[in-house]
Amino acid sequence: MSLNSWKLFSKGYFMFTSVLSGTKGQLITGSLDKTLKCWDPRGASSQVRTLVGTYPQPERVYSLSLVGNRLVVATAGKHVNIYDLRKMSQPEQKRESSLKYQTRCVRCYPNGTGYALSSVEGRVAMEFFDLSESFQAKKYAFKCHRKSEAGRDIVYPVNAISYHPIIAALSFNRDGRLLAVASSYTFEEGPKKGPNVLEQDAIYVRSVNEIEVKPKPKVYPPA
């Protein structure tokens, strides 16, 4: 995408999150103005030619994820809209997050069967697109990103989700041997001032040992 295209997309429009569709060749953006927009990066000479469609959302768009032709839109108010890119006139499914608090991130499973949804309360829900009873029985949620200090439980938001070739984790490279982690203050304790706040922003890259990502063997009770 050219710099001119980016200027066009961002002019008068606050893009909060985006995904690029390999099947449709479109850039899909979500905004705090409660809209979802589809753009054609190849026709950026005018806004009319570039903007393919605008789709109102029930609340502010916080996260998008795409697998194949299926787009998942997570918004404020715990709304989750699921679209088929071939028919964007309305969502094929409208859901509500099973987590209690605000959504931070949504990521579709690489195999296209569902999505993971995280929240500010340090929880992740594993969901499935198939509404049949057998698939819905597989969904679950788990707690993470928490620790105890001075007798208090401190819970951190789950800001990002990614998938390792073997097991779910964060921001792995193509073959799963390197892990990149972006670290910064995310305002979970409100605004903070001072130079140390900005100095905390960093990106860490580390090698991953196989033992860290290998699934644990199942332990079955004695017969």
2 has a pLDDT exceeding 50: no
Better-predicted residue by pLDDT, 14 or 172? 172
Q: Where are the alpha helices (DSSP H) in 78-202?
A: 133-136, 195-199
What percent of the chain shows pLDDT beyond 70?
A: 70
Structural domains of the chain sorted by starting position, each given as residue range(s) with its CATH number in brackets = 3-161 (2.130.10.10), 164-223 (no CATH)
Q: Rounded to an integer, what distance in angstroms lies between the CA atom of residue 209 and that of residue 162?
A: 17
Q: What is the pLDDT at residue 3?
A: 37
Local confidence band at 4 (pLDDT 50, 70, 90 cut-offs): very low
How confident is the model at residue 113, as a pLDDT? 93
- In contact, 52 and 42? CB cutoff 8 Å: no
Contact 103, 139 (CB under 8 A): no
25-39, 165-179, 196-210 — which is least confidently predicted? 165-179
- Residue 48, SS3 per DSSP: helix
Helices (H), 26-97: 47-50
| Better pLDDT: 202 or 44 | 202
pLDDT at residue 76, rounded to an integer: 95
Range 87-106 burial, b when 16+ CB lie within 10 A, else e = ebeebeeebebbbeeebbbb
pLDDT digits (tens, 9 = 90+) for 204-215: 787 877 766 666
Average pLDDT rounded to a whole number, residues 59-77: 94
What are the residues whose beta carbons fall under 8 Å from the beta carbon of 203, sequence distance 6 or more?
180, 181, 182, 183
Q: Tell me if the pTM is above 0.85.
A: no
Q: Summarize pLDDT for 28-61 with one digit per residue, the tens.
A: 999 999 999 998 877 655 554 588 899 999 999 9
Share of the chain above pLDDT 90, in %: 43
Please check the confidence at residue 124 and state whether its pLDDT lies above 90: yes
Confidence at residue 154, expressed as pLDDT on a 0 to 100 scale? 87
| Model pLDDT, residue 151 | 85
